[in-house]
């Protein structure tokens, strides 16, 4: 997670445990780029959530086309078990953290 220097080979493996996305507005094809804002919205012992917004521009009041959240788990491939987030990685994640993205949640039991 913490950006590594060239030549450093160890990075913890990350698995996507959950992904949720709300398509808020239609994004028509256009040659201009969109902005994807990404930040950490929750840190737990072995996992963290990342929130995303696909926006029209960097302006705070720009339209949002999509909002998403994913849970990533730090995973030890040898033992096949979750691995605690190191203190160094946790400090890095905290520096890029913010409030969770607002998503429309489905009611429990919805099929």
Torsional class of 41: left (φ above 0), alpha (ψ -120 to 50), beta (otherwise): alpha
- Residue-by-residue pLDDT tens, the chain, 111 positions: 666 566 555 678 999 999 999 999 999 999 999 999 999 999 999 999 999 999 999 998 999 999 999 999 999 988 999 999 999 999 999 999 999 999 987 667 765
**What is the CATH classification number for the domain harbouring 66?**
3.10.129.10
Is residue 74 domain-resident? yes
Give the pLDDT score at 104: 87
Q: What's the CA gap between 14 and 82, in Å, rounded? A: 9
Is residue 78 domain-resident? yes
Q: Which domain holds residue 63?
A: 13-95
Q: What is this structure's pTM?
A: 0.82
Into how many domains does the chain fold? 1
Q: What's the CA gap between 71 and 1, in Å, rounded? A: 14
Give the pLDDT score at 105: 77
Q: Helix (H, G, I), strand (E, B), or coil: what is residue 90?
A: helix
């Amino acid at each position: 997670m913490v950006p590594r220097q060239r030549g450093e080979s160890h990075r913890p493996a990350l698995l996507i445990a959950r992904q949720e996305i709300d398509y808020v507005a239609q994004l028509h094809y256009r040659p201009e780029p969109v902005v994807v804002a990404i930040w950490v919205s929750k840190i737990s012992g072995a996992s963290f959530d990342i929130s995303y917004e696909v926006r029209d521009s960097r302006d705070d009041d720009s339209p949002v086309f999509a909002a998403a959240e994913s849970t990533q788990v730090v995973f030890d491939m040898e033992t096949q078990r979750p691995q605690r987030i190191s203190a160094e990685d946790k400090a890095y994640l905290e520096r890029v953290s913010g409030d969770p993205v607002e998503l429309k949640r489905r009611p429990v039991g919805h099929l």
